[in-house]
Amino acid sequence: MMTAVAQWRRRRLFIGDRDRRPVMTLFIEQCLNGLQFGLLLFLLAAGLTLVFGIMDLVNLAHGSLYMLGAYFAATFAAWTGSFVFGAVLALGATLLVGMAVEVIAMRRLYGRDHLDHVLATFGLILFFDELVRLIWGAGGMSLPLPSWLNTSVRVLPGVDYSAYKLSIIVVSLAVAAFLYFLIMRTRLGMLIRAGASNREMVGALGVNIKLLFTLVFGLGAALAGLAGLMQAPILTVQIGMGENILILAFVITVIGGIGSIRGAFVAAILVGFIDTLGRAYFTDLLRLAFTKETAATAAPALSSMLIYLLMAIVLVIRPEGLFPASSK
Amino acid sequence: MTPTFNLRTTVGLLLLLALVLLPVYVELTGSRFLLTLFTRIVILALAAVSLNLILGYGGMMSFGHAAYLGIGGYAVGMLAFEGITSGFVQWPVALLVSAFFAFVIGALSLRTRGVYFIMITLAFAQMAYYIVAGLARYGGDDGLTIEKRSQFIAPINLSNKVQFYYICLVLLCGAIYLVWRLVNSRFGMALQGARSNDTRMRAIGFPTYHYKLIGFVIAGTLCGLAGALLANHTDFVSPAMMYWTRSGDLIIMVVLGGMGSTFGPLFGAVALLVLEEVLSGITEHWQIILGPLLLLVVLFARGGIDGLLGKAHHG
Amino acid sequence: MRKVLLAASAAVLLAVGPATAQNKSIKIGFISTFSGPVAVIGNDMRNSFELALDHMGRKMGGLSVEVVYEDDGFKPEVGKQKTDKLIESDKVDFIVGYIWSNVLLASMKSAVDAKTFLITSNAGPHQVAGEQCSPFIFSTSWQNDQTPQAMGHYMNQKGVKTAFLIGPNYAAGKDMLGGVASTFKGKIVGQELTKWPDQLDFSAELAKAKAEKPDAIFVFYPGKAGVQFLSQYAQSGLKGQIPLYTAFTIDELSLPLQKDLALGVPGAQEWVNDLPNDANKKFVADYLKKYPGLRPSFYGAQTYDAANLIASAVEATNGNLSDKVAVQKALEKADFKSVRGNFRFNTNHMPIQNFYLQDAVKDQDGNYVLKTVATIVEDNQDRFVTQCHMK
């Protein structure tokens, strides 16, 4: 003989207990996804921000290096039959291509107007897209996961996460740590930091600027290639894959501060979380008010917009970015 | 202020003449596809002319100019979808909405300089892209078919391809003339002055921010008009119209043709699109030529086609 | 001067191009996707079309056949552009192809306005079967809803009480999920539409499905996405826990990549490669011979049928394609031997056909193949025929 309110309360208690756990595990999983995506973006943005900061070069073709990394990995993995071996070879190949591009094309662009950079590197995008089509054909490629990575790992009780994605997180963090060590603790890193804050001075001090620039560009290319090959098994290996993600990399570079690795790291994680959590939760949020299709269509759009909004806000409030590298 | 008649102007006027006579040629050869191709060239030339105003003369590198193509196009598309097919409503709405967006985007973006300006205009354009892609009612990513073109009073019938072509051509000529008058006026001089040395212009007393903003809005509105025309031309709008790579295409047209020149954007649009057609007929892999070609133009032919013509005249 | 001359000569080059006299040969435009990860589908369609032409000696009704292949790049606006080009520049007599519903929807108006016959050999958005049906549009595939509707029937037969639906958010995806919902008698405990074609990471949707604990999950992901989905389905630990029911996710093209992941996952289809009629036996046998290492998929089978459909119309009208009404009537007769067995059109130019249950198995050579297990529905009509104005 319970009152209606008491009955309702009792039912709520049961339901509350039951559906809190899946909601929590889903949230943790989404956070991990956001972290993974953010770290991948960091790898891409790190190279971009370095090149931008040190050589003052706007390189739109950075996405092409990302694409090449994926294609190389797919090819070498198929040749050698080993995923890891293929990945290592691909890294080396992308590094070489990056350095070659720097010597042949980029060198002539230093000191020129940013508009010239944009145009020239836009032309390079077209060139690389076609080159890939010529060599590998129009159909794209696939990079299958080795079976030892194609399982799930119990990260927390009730939370099963893909082993491969976990390995992406681990590898990216390792690379980030390596970059930190390189930039902060080695002579090369010191030169890089100096170059980012005052280019002319470094040249005046007698450092072999040409070699430094080639190395930095190569490093950026290798990072982009790593990002490309790591996402290949779970996302895609196709022509033009660089264009979509390049924009995000630029946004991250601007938010973080041009020339700053630390800034790129923070901004990338931020963007990764906003994008992933936005896409996941906006859909549900919108579904309260709209139809399923409208929600499904609008959610990714909204979360993408958020990222650009963030960049616009940062540019208006703090135009040099969150962690500006250069000091004038 | 009479126009100087040199090689560049002569070629430009001859090209316009050729465009005027094109439908005659099409009638004789029965090659209707040429008419479709050149209508598209004329419309994109109009967009390039608008970009040239702010990029060529004003020095404002907007990487989000294609957004106005989309805004103008979707204004027409959305109204047509809702049953409002009168061009007298659609086109003014397209122009007004484009002007409004250009005002807002310009007001915010012009506070920044250099690469930041590029990035923020890009950001706004992408936001517009995502807003439109998120509208399930209007097709989202799938795009929206326009069943009936903008209706005006008879005898104007946009579905008549020849008529439509001439309307676009008249508007293009009008735009070229408008921009020419603008840049040769006090306003235009101030704009160009701001491009070469903003600080000095402000020191003299010109409110460069205001001038730039006005230029930005005019450019956006003209591009919105191009968007409305494009929507009618293809009977279809999709968010892809305003993806950032489209803005890149427009910039290429302006630079290839010669920045800051009267007929430059026209040269650029014709060159790029005709080259695209011809090359893709020869080989599937034509872009492998276009890519390095751009690089070479940037490195060696700074003034674009117009610059080459100017040099040919002088030397 | 040079600029103008260049433009003029380019124009001449273009004009000289396609100058065909009336019906000396049959010109067919073919639109599909030949780039990107889904190029395998386009290639299969092209291979099948070419095989059909070989079988008829590259002549239809005594006239030689010329095919122009165009790539829609998986984008609606590009598909539309290419359709326009085929109609205006190449002046084709028929247009065939269209994998994707959104590409077809964007391109239809051009064909209908120009009164050019369009045969879709895959895409089947409900608009084409219903309110936007046209005397000039025919389908040798199906209407999107039909296949998942058959799946819905099968799920009822298996006693599934609750289901979670996952699919891509574009014209066909919405049709597919709607199709299942229209015949499935149980409760749909959740539905997720994912961003298409960019989103290839389904972990969030799979996690949501897991949380709802349904009896079954229904999924539609064509091409590469199907491979990704099955792989992630296994990775999320759901394989063996919650059974999967599919439409257009497992086919001869994706199966070699999905391998063991596809075993035991049922799908519905209007054509499976072991259908026991003569035309089909010849099609499959000759395909395997002509293209070693490849197997034909339903995309190809539908395109093979389209070629024969067109040929039958050309023969019936003696190559006189300018009489559009006669061509339409000839097409409507569908007087050709289909690889599906009996083939006939409904009043809205969509086929009336059977749907079969297919299962993925390993044959004695260790290859992964699809097998017909049962007939789910016979002579199935799409549910939009009443909305079509053609009676």
What pLDDT does A21 receive?
57
If 0-12 CB within 10 Å is exposed, 13-18 middle and 19+ buried, where does residue A307 land? buried
Helix (H) or strand (E) holding A162: strand A159-162
Answer whether residue A287 is part of any domain: no
Distance from CA of C252 to the nearest CA of B (A): 27
pLDDT, tens digit, 9 for 90 and up, residues B141-176: 888 999 889 888 878 888 888 999 999 999 999 999
**Which of A163, A164, A300 is the closest to C195 by Cβ?**
A300
Q: Would you state the torsion angle of the CA atoms of residues C387, C388, C389, C391, taken in this order, to the nearest 10 degrees?
A: -110
**Which of C195, C228, C236 is the closest to A160 by Cβ?**
C236
Q: Which residue has tokens 């996460």?
A: A161
Which of A255-259, A302-306, B174-178, B182-186 is the least confident region?
A: A302-306
The CA–CA distances, whole Å, from B195 to A131, B58, B199, B200, B260 equal 37, 5, 10, 10, 11
Distance from CA of B297 to the nearest CA of A (A): 8
pTM strictly above 0.80 = yes
Answer whether residue B1 is part of any domain: no
Give chain C positions within 8 Å (CB) of B278. 10, 13-14
Answer whether residue A326 is part of any domain: no
Share the mean pLDDT of chain A.
83
**Which of A26, A145, A152 is the closest to C237 by Cβ?**
A152
Residue B3's pLDDT band, with cuts at 50, 70 and 90, is: low
* Distance from C-alpha of B64 to C-alpha of B123, rounded to nearest angstrom: 8
The mean per-residue pLDDT over the stretch B113-141 comes to 85
Answer whether residue A233 is part of any domain: yes
What pLDDT does C18 receive?
45
* Distance from C-alpha of C19 to C-alpha of C90, rounded to nearest angstrom: 9
Distance from CA of B282 to the nearest CA of A (A): 15
- 3-class secondary structure, B4: coil
What DSSP state is assigned to residue A145? P
**Tally of domains within chain A:** 1
The mean per-residue pLDDT over the stretch B125-135 comes to 87
Tokens, residue B220: 């956006």
Write out the residue range of the structural domain in which residue A123 sits: 23-238
What pLDDT does B171 receive?
96
Residue C208's pLDDT band, with cuts at 50, 70 and 90, is: confident
What pLDDT does A18 receive?
43
Give the 3-state DSSP-derived string for chain C, with helices as H, strands as E and coil as C. CHHHHHHHHHHHHHHHCCCCCCCCEEEEEEEECCCCCCHHHHHHHHHHHHHHHHHCCCEECCEEEEEEEEECCCCHHHHHHHHHHHHHCCCCCEEEECCCHHHHHHHHHHHHHCCCEEEECCCCCHHHHCCCCCCCEEECCCCCCHHHHHHHHHHHHCCCCEEEEEEECCHHHHHHHHHHHHHCCCEEEEEEEECCCCCCCCHHHHHHHHHHCCCEEEECCCCHHHHHHHHHHHHCCCCCCCCEEEECCCCCCCHHHHHHHHCCCCEEECCCCCCCCHHHHHHHHHHHHHCCCCCCCHHHHHHHHHHHHHHHHHHHCCCCCCCHHHHHHHHHHCCCCECCECCEECCCCCEEEEEEEEEEEECCCCCEEEEEEEEEEEEECCCCHHHCCCC
If 0-12 CB within 10 Å is exposed, 13-18 middle and 19+ buried, where does residue C325 land? exposed
What pLDDT does A326 receive?
56
C31 bridge partner residues: C70, C97
Cα-Cα-Cα-Cα dihedral sign, residues A284, A290, A292, A295: negative
Answer whether residue B289 is part of any domain: yes
Q: Show which of residues 4-33 on chain C sit within 8 Å of chain B, judged by CB atoms.
A: 4, 6-8, 10-11, 13-15, 17
Give chain B positions within 8 Å (CB) of C84. 36, 234
**Tally of domains within chain B:** 1
Answer whether residue B2 is part of any domain: no
* Distance from C-alpha of C65 to C-alpha of C26, rounded to nearest angstrom: 5
Residue B14 in contact with partner chain C when CB distance is under 8 A: yes
Residue C80 in contact with partner chain B when CB distance is under 8 A: yes
pLDDT, tens digit, 9 for 90 and up, residues C82-110: 999 999 889 999 999 999 999 999 999 99
Longest Cα–Cα distance in chain B: 60
Instruction: Decide if pLDDT at C13 tops 70.
Output: no
Residue B141 in contact with partner chain C when CB distance is under 8 A: yes
Answer whether residue B210 is part of any domain: yes
CB A279 to CB C195 under 8 A?
Answer: yes
CB C77 to CB B274 under 8 A?
Answer: no
* Distance from C-alpha of A171 to C-alpha of C122, rounded to nearest angstrom: 42
Q: Which residue has tokens 């998942």?
A: C148
Q: Would you state the torsion angle of the CA atoms of residues B31, B36, B41, B43, taken in this order, to the nearest 10 degrees?
A: 150
Phi-psi region of C91 (alpha: psi -120 to 50; beta: other; left: phi over 0): left
**Which of A33, A144, A238 is the closest to C36 by Cβ?**
A238
Give chain A positions within 8 Å (CB) of C231. 145, 150
CB C199 to CB A162 under 8 A?
Answer: no
Cα-Cα-Cα-Cα dihedral sign, residues A12, A17, A18, A21: positive
Taking a C-beta distance cutoff of 8 angstroms, is the pair A318, A260 a contact? no
Phi, psi of B114 (to 5 degrees): 55, -130
Helix (H) or strand (E) holding A155: strand A152-156
Tokens, residue C197: 């074609």
**Which of A19, A150, A292 is the closest to C235 by Cβ?**
A150
Give chain C positions within 8 Å (CB) of B256. none
Distance from CA of A140 to the nearest CA of B (A): 16
The mean per-residue pLDDT over the stretch C39-68 comes to 93
For the beta carbon of residue A2, count every other beta carbon within 10 angstroms: 9
Q: Which of A27, A132, A168, A236 would best serve as a mutation to test chain C binding (most C beta carbons within 10 A)? A: A236
Tokens, residue A249: 């990399």
**Which of A131, A243, A315 is the closest to B120 by Cβ?**
A315
**Which of C37, C43, C227 is the closest to A238 by Cβ?**
C37
Answer whether residue A306 is part of any domain: no
Answer whether residue A317 is part of any domain: no
Write out the residue range of the structural domain in which residue B108 sits: 7-314
Which of A15-24, A94-103, B230-239, C366-375 is the least confident region?
A: A15-24
What pLDDT does B130 receive?
87
Answer whether residue A304 is part of any domain: no
CB C7 to CB B274 under 8 A?
Answer: yes
We report the CATH number of the domain holding residue B56 as 1.10.3470
Give chain A positions within 8 Å (CB) of C194. 296
What pLDDT does C311 receive?
94
- The subunits that touch chain B, with at least 3 C-beta pairs less than 8 Å apart, are A, C
